[in-house]
Amino acid sequence: MTNTTGNTSNTPSTSSTSNNPIARIARVELGKGGPLVGVQGLGCMGISEFYGDTDEAAARDTLGAALEAGITLFDTADVYGRGTNEEFLAPFVAAHRDEITLATKFAIERTDDPQYRGVRNDAAYVRQAVEGSLRRLDVDVIDLYYMHRRDPRVPFAESVGAMAELVAEGKVRHLGLSEVTGAELREAHAVHPIAALQSEWSLFSRDVERSAVAAAAELGVAFVPYSPLGRGFLTGAFADAAAELSEGDFRRYQPRFTGDNARTNAALLEPVRQVAAAHGATPAQVALAWVHQRASVHGLTVVPIPGTRKRGRLVENAAATRIVLTEAELALLEPIASRVAGDRYPDMTSTSAARES
């Protein structure tokens, strides 16, 4: 994979050219020895399902806008659309293979039963899963291969050991984990170096700061926060998912976004709006800027992956990397997470937060 070097600090770049009107973001190393990627990536899950209907033409335009902005980390998973998300990305990947870092994930198993979600980490499944992703993405190698969720019944010696074999065979370049504790990250890292840890981290969700963030910083593992905009709630785009979002939107069933919890949490956005107004920015940009600056407190490389299907939102999100919040503004935002009502998921038993508490 070819990456253009450049500014590798977390300080955003504001340079642009006449041929590229979108200001390009800086680059960082994704874990020790990992690829150089833009300081912000793109979560592609919503292109295929979970957030209601999508416009594929608009989504393809958004992928192109991401590259214009210097966003090079594109994140998918075999579970998104039961493989259709990977298939959707394949033509884009083929056209820009040397410009992007391609990340996908395995471990969450789905069947024809829409309610079923299983977790498999056994070695045989690792091999089955990677072959499926390689085929759907139409690539010879995956740049970053994540274990999407961990089955604690399977030792890391088996699961990460099987992933390490994929690296040795040239099918995968770097390994990642998602939603693990700090202790689990250390245990896995001892089997094979882990380049990136992906977990939810935002103004609304700071469970990872209990142990996973410190472990990642200690080991030189990059942190890839998903849902840094609180699944859109931090943007103020909706106040009650059940009342405002379509039937096909899974946020209608998330505890934080409905009923009394939604009303409580909507009130927590006022300081975000105040800070946004002071910067002439949007609440989404403030939320993303907070993630970048919070990571620097921990001495951690961070590459958040907000998801969007719209070019305008993509450009807005990328511009957040140029916002610097003051100490007073950070203090104003500090209490939010501790006041959030409701769990992240209806069933928290498989998350790192549940296992750490």
CA distance 185 to 188: 5
Name the catalytic one among 80, 145, 146, 226: 80
Q: Do the beta carbons of residue 217 and residue 300 sit within 8 Å?
A: yes
Antiparallel, parallel or unpaired: β 42-43 and 73-75: parallel
Q: Do the beta carbons of residue 147 and residue 179 sit within 8 Å?
A: no
Per DSSP, 55 falls in state -
The tokens describing 320, both together, are 């957040």
- Extract the runs of DSSP E, i.e. beta strands, from the chain: 27-29, 36-38, 42-43, 73-75, 101-106, 108-109, 118-119, 142-147, 172-178, 196-200, 222-226
Q: Check if 80 is active-site.
A: yes
Q: How is the chain split among helix, strand and coil, in percent rounded to 5?
A: 45, 15, 40
CA distance 189 to 28: 21
**What residues are annotated to the active site?**
80
